């Protein structure tokens, strides 16, 4: 059933369903909070419910989409005329001469193909994180499209809903155009912004939206979702959920990865870097092997795993046997690791790893990043430790 497609977030769902039942759905919403907590999924489900031809009511009179009518099917496939879903697109070959032209107009066939594939993935899983190379801006052409839509009446019965995903990526020009749309009263339309960087949105926009905070998801809800939706074995699902850190889509990043192998590889490299003497050739060997991967995903995952390992080591060094750690299956190993480096500044080392992850996202040479971060970890150790 429809709302059960959403992982957790029962408080938010309840408040939206009550608003719908009482005819109090807001003109503008800002769904904010960590990425992968279900902001887009809830927005899409709300849009579907508001347009369902035969919505169901529970005993409290709260609505739910039927998931079976023509409108629900259209909504699920992003083909509903009342529902718009807007997201970042790559810049075209040149600046548009006509600002009213379609935002897709200047893109190459390959780019359009990727966009189509990403939309299909998003349609089949509303938690899918749309990933289009060089797409970093929501352009004014996308927002102008809404304005044209807003002035037309709803094509089908129901309510028009415009969702702007990762709305902080609107250009200044787009944000200004959006603000105008938000300020003009239109009946029968709801504008929903979703963002994991609310602070980047102009106050003028935020103040005109009802803001709903999406808290991080509990590990057990993420693990249960991975088992039910992706067929992951429970033990693996628990580990992936822990690595997801409250984000279902982040946990899903680990689906195609052999996490245990990646963790083993990166921790081995760290151990090589922290060896007392004769560490150079072993360290270089690890760095060469690990940075040779074609895509950057594995490097990002390895750094995430390294970060969690160092956090666990810090926990262990502070709380000892009472430590609550992420790498639950490696408890003894982490205990030994923390004991081997009694004065290590694990917190500072974790910061160095976070900086390295940021450099990967900026496309800095991965071999250099890995070598630098491992050497920084080494030099942070007090002399007696190394
Ligand atoms: Zn329906």
The tally of CA atoms less than 13 A away on the side-chain side of residue 307 is 18
Report CA(289)–ligand 1 centroid distance (Å): 52
Report CA(71)–ligand 1 centroid distance (Å): 6
Q: Residue 335's pLDDT is what?
A: 94
Report CA(216)–ligand 1 centroid distance (Å): 29
Q: DSSP labels for 304-350?
A: HHHHHHHHHHHHHHHHGGG---S-GGGHHHHHHHHHHSTT--HHHHH
Report CA(124)–ligand 1 centroid distance (Å): 17
Per-residue pLDDT tens digits of the chain, which is 386 residues long: 589 999 999 999 999 999 999 989 999 999 999 999 999 999 999 999 999 999 999 888 899 999 999 999 999 999 999 999 999 998 776 555 555 567 777 788 899 999 999 999 999 999 998 988 888 889 888 888 777 766 665 566 788 999 999 999 999 999 999 999 888 877 788 999 999 999 999 999 999 999 999 999 999 999 999 999 999 988 788 878 887 889 999 899 888 777 788 899 999 999 999 998 888 999 999 999 998 776 677 888 899 889 989 999 999 999 988 988 888 889 999 999 999 998 899 999 999 999 998 898 888 899 999 999 999 999 998 876 66
Q: Residue 325's pLDDT is what?
A: 87
Q: What is the pLDDT of residues 325-378, one digit of tens each?
A: 888 889 999 999 999 998 899 999 999 999 998 898 888 899 999 999 999 999
Report CA(67)–ligand 1 centroid distance (Å): 5
Q: Residue 361's pLDDT is what?
A: 81
Within the chain, residue ranges assigned H as helices are: 10-21, 39-51, 70-76, 109-124, 140-151, 172-183, 203-206, 219-230, 234-244, 248-252, 259-274, 280-290, 297-319, 331-340, 346-361, 366-380
Q: Residue 294's pLDDT is what?
A: 67
374 touches 285 (CB < 8 A) = no
Report CA(158)–ligand 1 centroid distance (Å): 11
Report CA(223)–ligand 1 centroid distance (Å): 29
Report CA(53)–ligand 1 centroid distance (Å): 5
Report CA(2)–ligand 1 centroid distance (Å): 9
- Looking only at Cα atoms, what is the longest distance across the chain? 74
Q: Residue 328's pLDDT is what?
A: 81
Q: Residue 96's pLDDT is what?
A: 52
Q: What is the pLDDT of residues 182-210, one digit of tens each?
A: 888 777 889 999 999 999 999 999 999 99
Report CA(118)–ligand 1 centroid distance (Å): 24
Quote the DSSP letter at residue 294. Answer: S
Report CA(64)–ligand 1 centroid distance (Å): 8
Q: Residue 19's pLDDT is what?
A: 94
Report CA(6)–ligand 1 centroid distance (Å): 16
The structural domains of the chain, ordered by start, are 3-215 (3.40.50.300), 257-385 (1.20.272)
Tell the residue number behind the tokens 């989409």, with chain if given. Answer: 65
Taking the CA atoms of 247, 5, 240 and 85 in sequence, report the sign of the dihedral they define.
negative
| ∠ CA 376-381-383, rounded to 5° | 125
Report CA(50)–ligand 1 centroid distance (Å): 9
């Amino acid at each position: 059933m429809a709302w059960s497609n959403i992982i957790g977030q029962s408080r938010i769902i309840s408040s939206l369903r009550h608003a719908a039942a009482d005819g109090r759905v807001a003109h503008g919403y800002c769904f904010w909070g960590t990425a992968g907590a279900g902001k887009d999924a809830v927005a899409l489900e709300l849009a579907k419910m508001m347009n369902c031809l035969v919505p169901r009511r529970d005993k409290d009179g709260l609505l739910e989409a039927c998931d079976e009518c023509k409108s629900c099917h259209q909504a699920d496939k992003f083909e509903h005329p009342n529902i718009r879903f807007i997201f970042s697109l790559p810049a075209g070959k040149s600046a548009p001469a006509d600002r009213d032209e379609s935002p897709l107009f200047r893109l190459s066939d390959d780019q359009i193909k990727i966009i189509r594939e990403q939309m299909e993935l998003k349609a089949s899983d509303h938690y899918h994180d749309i990933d289009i190379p060089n797409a970093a801006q929501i352009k004014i052409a996308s927002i102008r499209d809404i304005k044209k839509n807003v002035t037309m009446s709803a094509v089908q019965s129901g309510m028009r809903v415009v969702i702007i995903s990762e709305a902080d990526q609107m250009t200044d020009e787009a944000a200004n155009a959006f603000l105008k749309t938000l300020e003009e009263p239109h009946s029968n339309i709801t504008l929903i912004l979703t963002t994991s960087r609310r602070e980047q949105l102009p106050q003028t926009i935020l103040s005109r939206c009802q803001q709903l905070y999406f808290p991080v998801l509990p590990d057990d809800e993420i693990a249960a979702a991975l088992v039910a939706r992706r067929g992951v074995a429970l033990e693996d699902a628990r580990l992936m959920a822990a690595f997801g850190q409250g984000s279902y889509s982040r946990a899903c990043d680990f689906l195609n990865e052999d996490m245990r192998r990646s963790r083993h590889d990166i921790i081995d490299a760290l151990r090589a870097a922290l060896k007392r003497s004769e560490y150079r050739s072993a360290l270089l060997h690890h760095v060469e092997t690990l940075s040779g991967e074609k895509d950057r995903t594995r490097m990002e995952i390895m750094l995430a795993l390294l970060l969690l390992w160092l956090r666990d080591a810090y926990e262990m060094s502070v709380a000892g046997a009472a430590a609550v750690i992420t790498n639950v299956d490696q408890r003894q190993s982490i205990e030994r690791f923390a004991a081997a480096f009694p004065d290590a500044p694990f917190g500072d080392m974790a910061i160095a790893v976070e900086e390295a992850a940021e450099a990967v996202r900026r496309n800095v040479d991965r071999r250099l990043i890995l070598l630098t971060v491992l050497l920084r970890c080494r030099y942070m150790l007090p002399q007696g430790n190394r």
